[in-house]
Amino acid sequence: MIAIAMTHGFDDYRIFISSPGDLASDRQICHDIIADVNETSAMPGKVLLVTVGLRDNAAISGFRSAVSDNVRWSTYFVQLFEDDWGERDMFRKLFLLALECRDNPDMPMCDVAVCVKNAPHERNPDILAFRRELEEQKNIRLIRYGTAEELKEQFKDVCDQWASESIERAQVARQRQSPTA
């Protein structure tokens, strides 16, 4: 597990947020929840959950290598999905990379959450098949939501747990680093 210890005294744990541009308001909700959890839970425990990811689809495809490296060195990964994987399925590729990283014990990735927004009018068979595939996976945190309030409530629970887990990791790491008396 890699946490970035900063000179400010906090251990940083990165959360990569991946979302197509049409879910910008949902992505902002995730950023706001993480900020709230930092203030109420993480920071009092000397931990900071740091969001990473690009907000612009063009920037992601233009800096694919850097974006992939950011996924590789994140502790947590969030994929927002409704009906679009972006140009050349770039968001799906980031999601699959996050799963690989989580399953590799040499990487810092601990957990992957997928927030699937309801799409009751979706008819594209490829999108419907992938939505089913996401919902049937056992190895991810799946958040199904239709409204902003549903996303807020469920994502806050996930972030609270991540903050608690990160605080525990940071405490264990600090104990290992401190000389025994």
**CATH code for the domain of 120:** 3.40.50.2300
User: Is residue 60's pLDDT more than 60?
Assistant: no
The pLDDT score that the predictor gives to residue 163 is 97
Q: State the Cα–Cα distance between residues 48 and 42, nearest whole angstrom.
A: 6
The pLDDT score that the predictor gives to residue 12 is 93
170 Cα distance to chain centroid: 19
The pLDDT score that the predictor gives to residue 120 is 84
User: Is residue 4's pLDDT more than 70?
Assistant: no
The pLDDT score that the predictor gives to residue 77 is 96
H/E stretch holding 80 reads strand 76-81
* pLDDT tens for each residue of 34-57: 999 999 999 999 999 999 986 665
User: Is residue 181's pLDDT more than 50?
Assistant: no
- What number is the average pLDDT over the span 58-73? 75
DSSP-assigned beta bridge partners for residue 78: 17, 113
* pLDDT tens for each residue of 115-124: 999 988 888 8
Report the number of distinct structural domains present in the chain: 1
Show the domain range for 71. Answer: 4-177
